[in-house]
Amino acid sequence: MLDNDTTDDFADQMVQCRNCGVPPMIHGSRFLLRPPGGHSMAKVHQALKLAGCVARSGRRHQELVVEVDDHHRLADALVESLHMNELADTMIMPAKDDGPDLDQLWSVMRLSDYTANVRGAWLVDLVESGRLTAFMQPIVDATLRPVGHECLVRGHDTDGNLIPAGRMFEAASSPRLAAYFDRAARLTAVARSKRLPTDQTCFINFQPSVLYDPENCLRTTVAALKEYGIDPGRVVFEVVETDHVSDMAHLRRIVDYYRNAGFRVALDDFGSGYNNLSQFVGLRPDFIKIDKALVLSLNSHPIARRLVEFLVATAQDNGIKIIAEGVEDAQTFDTLKAIGVDFYQGFYFARPAPDPVTSVTLQ
């Protein structure tokens, strides 16, 4: 039985499911449900009845064989069921006759992941149909010279309308779907970075929580950069949601892997978690990006300014460059320059766009 390790191997298996008309690792119409010990089968029956599914006992005690006509209807019913939280750890697997299909044991998953994958099927279709793209937003120095761009993932719906990154990452709520989408986003950013001038740096986001084994999970990203002939020294990988990182040893393995491969590293969204600043500085990142919320309150809350001053001073003492995100007006830009921030990013300079820029016009 597979666990929730999220590697590129899982993502490869998910891609193979693109012609099934159903989410990754969801096949056929007959499934076996196995609730964890101590859970009432009556609660499972109630959820299935709500979805209009036919269920019968399996070969073993505490197993149900379920006939599914509409995966989306079942997923919606499970989410709406009052018992979903209690049923989340129920295992679902393809069935053959009245027992598990041994040829498809790789697709065993928790019921909560099943519902997330079904409801996120539109995201898989978006990726597989080539509707995932990346926009680029410049990062400038104090003279307004673009020194690099951050690649920001976007999607298009079937009518060509833009889908924001937040909606897509929210849809990728199961571990395997999150790994699949994070990998697709990284590879899309790599492909877009080919457009950058050779004197500019490309900033690419990744989520450390979906990378179980850095070497295995990131090898396709590194291989794509080599294929496009992009010098590793021009690439900075951004650790998103820095303030939510709890496993510092895991994060250090990722940072060390990238650094040993010749890339640079940035800690993104840095702000409210500054109590752990010493731990993050100990990772020796090349850049720290100050969280947008902190930048926006810079001129209205004195404590925000003092915090930014402290971050900048600490970074300078450790040879780390500071990037301020969310710069939207001249006053904020002037304040950040006075504090000594190294680089700047925000709508004041340019909004994300499909192509990079070589100069900026203040907004």
pLDDT in tens, 100-120: 777 776 678 888 888 888 888
Confirm whether 19 is domain-assigned: no
Residue-wise DSSP of 63-89: -EEEE-S-HHHHHHHHHHSTTHHHHTT
Task: Report which of 3, 2, 4, 1 is spatially closest to residue 178, judged by C-alpha positions.
Answer: 4
Does the pLDDT of residue 95 top 60, yes or no? yes
Q: Final residue of a domain: which of 119, 142, 175? A: 119
Banded pLDDT at 244 (limits 50, 70, 90): low
Considering its fold, how many domains does the chain have in total? Answer: 2
Confirm whether 85 is domain-assigned: yes
**From CA 132, how far away is CA 157, in angstroms rounded?**
9
Residue-wise DSSP of 226-253: HHTT--GGGEEEEESSGGG---HHHHHH
Same domain, 223 and 323: yes
Does the pLDDT of residue 80 top 90, yes or no? no
Banded pLDDT at 3 (limits 50, 70, 90): very low
Which residue did the predictor score with more confidence, 214 or 226?
Answer: 226
| Domain ranges, residue 309 | 125-344
Same domain, 98 and 231: no
pLDDT at 287: 95
pTM of the model: 0.81
pLDDT at 13: 42
- Three-state SS annotation for 154-202: EEECCCCCEECHHHHHHHCCCHHHHHHHHHHHHHHHHHHHCCCCCCCEE
Does the pLDDT of residue 46 top 70, yes or no? yes
Same domain, 150 and 272: yes
Q: Final residue of a domain: which of 92, 119, 146? A: 119
Same domain, 338 and 214: yes
Same domain, 101 and 132: no
Q: For residue 109, give the H/E element and its range.
A: strand 109-110
